[in-house]
Amino acid sequence: MLKIVITYGTFDLFHVGHIRLLKRLRALGDQLVVGISSDEFNQSKGKSSFFSYEERAEIVNACKYVDKVFPENSWDQKVSDIEKYGASIFAMGDDWEGKFDHLKEFCDVLYLARTEDISTTDIKKKLSKFDQDKINDLESALYDIMDIVKTLTVK
């Protein structure tokens, strides 16, 4: 009998932390199925993604550790997904520790440690900071140029 692992996530700005988690999840069973948060579901959680659901699903589906992706449209669909895909293991990152223990009556529930020092949230913060730093540099350069132009035009 196949051992099927199921997990969920947004998987925006796909990075090495995602790869490492999916690799460890896949090693737990024979197949890995992944629920990708739809754009509408993200919006209901107050989140937005850089990439659309379709793009994120295509990226995750291209990962060699993933056998199937499907849309996650609500919190409540997990039991029906476990049954639909015949999952014997539900696994998430340990930042969700305890949040899905109610699924233990349907399958094993595991929480795996996340990859240290990397997260999509941190990447977005760094990119945001980078953008602001560049804007500040450009403003400073513009003021410097304006000062130079003033000194050249005043005689």
The structure's pTM equals 0.76
Write down the pLDDT at residue 111: 96
Q: Does residue 131 share a domain with residue 106? A: no
**Mean per-residue pLDDT of the chain:** 86
**Catalytic pick from 3, 23, 45, 126?**
45
Tell me which range, 22-26, 91-95, 137-141, is most confidently predicted by mean pLDDT.
Answer: 22-26
Look at residue 95 in the predicted model and tell me its pLDDT: 86
3-state SS assignment for residue 51: coil
d(CA 100, CA 109): 7
The per-residue pLDDT for range 44-89, each reduced to its tens digit, is: 988 888 889 999 999 999 999 999 999 999 999 999 999 999 999 9
Residue 8 burial (CB count, 10 A): 22
Which listed residue (47, 99, 126, 129) is catalytic? 47
Calculate the CA 41 to chain-centre distance: 14
User: 144 is in which domain, residue-wise?
Assistant: 119-155
What is the per-residue pLDDT for 138?
67
Q: Are residues 102 and 127 in the same domain?
A: no
Active site residue 45: yes
If asked whether residues 97 and 150 sit together in one domain, one would say no
Closest CA to 21 of 112, 89, 101: 112
CB 28 within 8 A of CB 114: no
Whether 24 and 80 map to the same domain: the answer is: yes
What is the average pLDDT across 131-135?
66
Same-domain status, 144 and 75: no
- Quote the number of domains for the chain: 2
CATH number at residue 61: 3.40.50.620
150 is catalytic: no
On the question of pLDDT at 6 being above 60, the answer is yes
Same domain, 56 and 127: no
Could you give the percent of the chain with pLDDT greater than 70? 80
Based on the fold, state whether residues 101 and 31 are members of the same structural domain.
yes
Residue 123 has pLDDT above 70, yes or no: no
Same domain, 103 and 60: yes
Residues 83 and 145 in one domain: no
Report the C-alpha gap between 18 and 15 in whole angstroms.
Answer: 5
Pair (44, 78) in one structural domain: yes
